[in-house]
Amino acid sequence: MGKGDFKEKLIVIGFLLGVFLPLRLIFVEYISDQWIGNFGLVSGLGIVLLILIKKGKLGRVGAIFEKQMKKTIFGKTGKFVIGISVLSLLYFGSTMFFIERGESVFSEDKALFYDAIVLKNDFEQITPNNLKNIKIIYDSDNRIYSTFDYTFSITYAIMNEFSGGWLEHLYFILLVEQVEILGIFLYYRIFAKPIISMPANLVD
């Protein structure tokens, strides 16, 4: 990949981040924070974007976007993007899972740690006798997983509360976007490739 191609990819990434992420944040904040209301937003905007590109309404940026989209979806880069999307789905999904468990299953212990760490109150309150939920680890058949679950659930729940709920808010947005991006990539790679002819120099 040459410097020119790399520069074009950065332009496309910057364009997408500058358009899609702010719109998603506005949509979730002021219109609907339910996943069913968010799902399809990126897909709908993507279709509008493709129509504008095909009609030449986006000028040079549109031409760059179309070229890089073909190279990314149908080239070797597409496999890399799909892999990153899958890993991102696992990360964002598991983080939201841990936040939920920290707020429910381990809520009492989370409150103690939040009070001691964030509000900087007495750390002496963090004792085995005061930690109500830690017994889940001792009662578990798999203590390694239970310890991992306990630690990450409380940690992410504290981070989420400290951010005023924005951590879960943002990860929810990114999770839905990754689902849509992965769906679009897989759909075009499976169904659209046989009917699209591309010059050899456009394929990575």
List, for residues 149-169, the tens digit of each pLDDT value.
999 999 999 999 999 888 988
Percent of the chain surpassing pLDDT 90: 20
Residue ranges of the chain whose pLDDT lies below 50: 194-200, 202-204
| Residue 28: other Cβ atoms inside 10 A | 20
- At 16 the pLDDT is 67
- Predicted structure pTM score: 0.69
Number of DSSP helices (H) and strands (E) in the chain, helices first: 9, 0
Phi-psi region of 2 (alpha: psi -120 to 50; beta: other; left: phi over 0): beta
